[in-house]
Amino acid sequence: MNDFLLPFVEGRKASGVFSPKAMIIASVATAILVSIQTNLRIVLLLGFLIVACGVASRTRWRPVISLAARFEVLVLFWVVMVPFMYGSTVLATISLPFGRFQIYLEGLTLGFMLTLRMSLIVLLFVGTLSHMALSDFVGAMYGLRLPMPVIGSLLIMLRYVPQLVNERRVMHESQLLRGLGGAARSVQIRSVGFLIGTTIDRGFDRSTVVYDSMVLRGLGKQFRPSGTGFHRSDTLLLGVVLLLASILCGILPIPVQVF
């Protein structure tokens, strides 16, 4: 499954201890817990628990971390602006020819917390999906009553985002072999614009063809994936998540003051 955006466990034996539906529900609940925390120690504790569960379940860390790192680039792209836009305590001032930028302590703290929480959420979902096959994932989505057009669009995205990335890389290498690296800057800018436009146009044409073929094969009509049911062991998984949520939300007191 190297041509998919997520590291599904195709060609390997899945654990089968917990059902894919329960794993997705537990991951969503844990992600919500991570996203609402404001205490750094609690976030780090949740991160430790996520990594510990991954180690216990024998997660394939190499593809998981590699793919999660690619998503982190998108996270850092907009989080990096938070220290310059939020806060009142000036930590540093950067002088540039077109103006001065101030780095605020509150913004730096908020940006760090946002980055840490999003990183854990991305690692959680990528690690969870690495333990199920693509068919299990589709069955779980259908079992959670997601509409078939949404599932079909999600599958197209998972399949053709890496395909478009590969096509863009091949086209860029072809341009370099034709001497683009030594051309003038204006020619390089026009070439990059042409490359982006061609990639988008190819992606749109291909997605249209794929969607039409899926409709002809019964998408949204006769075709329905078989939804996966729950296992008895899912009670343990969901119970642990519920217990953790109760402790963090203060519903169940803990005898020792950890935080």
Mean predicted confidence (pLDDT) in 29-55: 89
pLDDT at 1: 45
CB-CB neighbours of 147 under 10 Å: 11
- Which is nearest to 64 in space by CA: 8, 135, 143? 8
State yes or no: pLDDT of 240 exceeds 60.
Answer: yes
Cβ atoms of 90 and 102 closer than 8 Å: yes
Query: Which of 7, 5, 1 has its CA nearest to residue 128?
Result: 7
- Say how far apart CA 79 and CA 112 lie, in whole Å: 8
Confidence of residue 217 (pLDDT cuts 50, 70, 90): low
Segment 224-246 shows an average pLDDT of 75
pLDDT in tens, 161-184: 666 666 667 777 776 777 666 666
Residue 59: per-residue pLDDT: 83
pTM equals 0.70
Alpha helices in the chain (DSSP H): 20-35, 40-56, 61-79, 82-85, 105-129, 134-143, 148-177, 185-216, 234-248
The CA-atom distances, in angstroms, between 144 and each of 25, 53, 137, 166, 184 are 9, 24, 11, 32, 54
pLDDT at 256: 41
